[in-house]
Amino acid sequence: MFDTALTVNDLIFLAKGAGMTIMVTAISVFFGTILGIVFGVVRHQVGPWWAAPLTFVLDVFRSIPLLIQLVLANAFVTTVLGFRVAGLTVACGVLSLYTAAYCAEIVRGGIEAVPLTLRRASRSLGMTWRQDMTNVVMPLATRVALPSWIGLALGVMKDSALVFIVQVVELLKSTQILITRLQEPLFLLTICGLFYFLISFPVARFGGYLEKRWSND
């Protein structure tokens, strides 16, 4: 039961897949967060009526399976528009927007958690909107939003397993390829699951710690 046909080369292959998972996650979380902050601030700033189109679009990203978003985006870019684009680009683009949709919600929640009186006070002291945003709202909103943002980043890492559908070979896909060859599903899947777990678990714990530490009660 314990002898395996797994070679060093296969392990390197798996490590490459893991690297791809981390890369896709890092790119998507980076761009997704920037977009999410912009969307969140805009949504808060222009009021519910003017933000309705944006709210709708972001809601669509949260109500359709990521798998279908990926297939649709891939079909749209490659066959409808006729561009030759790598699957990786499509994957990062879709995942960034997906991240942004959730991040906007977190950012909005963070901004709304800052008491309005505090912001009025800062404006009364002569701060500009920009100063108010960067010096008052941002530090306070970050406290509220950071634990959920960590959760979101981990969620994106787990969801990045779905990019196999646009021919990106990440960790789970490379495991699948090895399973097809070595026929040792349980062993290989355990390695794969362990990898996800080892990244996700400590960070999730850290998020939980921050949440407890920073909560006001």
Partner 1 sequence: MNYSFRWNQALNSLPQMLDGALVTMQIAVLSMVIGIAVAILLTVFRLSGSRVLRGVAATWVEIARNTPALFQIYMAHFGLGGLGIHLSPYMSLLLGIVFNNAGYLAENFRGALKAIPDTQTRAARSLGLSSGQAFGYVVVPQMLRISFLPMTNQMVWAVLMTSLGVVVAMNTDLYGVTSELNARTFRTFELFAIAAVIFYVITKVITLSARLLAARLFRY
Residue ranges in contact with partner 1 by CB under 8 A:
60, 63-69, 71-72, 75-76, 79-82, 154, 158-159, 161-162, 165, 172, 176, 179, 184-187, 189-190, 192-193, 196-197, 200-201, 204
Closer residue to partner 1, CB minimum distance, 76 or 214 = 76
Q: What are the distances in angstroms from CA 37 to CA 26, 33, 156, 188, 203?
A: 16, 6, 16, 39, 22
State in Å, rounded, how far the first CA of the chain is from the last one: 52
Q: How far is the CB of 168 from partner 1 (least distance, A)?
A: 13
Closer residue to partner 1, CB minimum distance, 63 or 117 = 63
Q: Which residue bears the tokens 């680009």? A: 89
**120 half-sphere exposure, CB direction, 13 A CA radius:** 3
Q: How far is the CB of 101 from partner 1 (least distance, A)?
A: 13
CA torsion 13→16→18→19, rounded to 10°? 170
CB count within 10 Å of CB 85 equals 14
Q: How far is the CB of 203 from partner 1 (least distance, A)?
A: 9
Q: How far is the CB of 55 from partner 1 (least distance, A)?
A: 13
Closer residue to partner 1, CB minimum distance, 130 or 212 = 212
Structure tokens of 85? 């684009």
Q: Which residue bears the tokens 């080369």? A: 9
Closer residue to partner 1, CB minimum distance, 132 or 170 = 170
CB count within 10 Å of CB 142 equals 13
Q: How far is the CB of 94 from partner 1 (least distance, A)?
A: 12
Closer residue to partner 1, CB minimum distance, 49 or 56 = 56
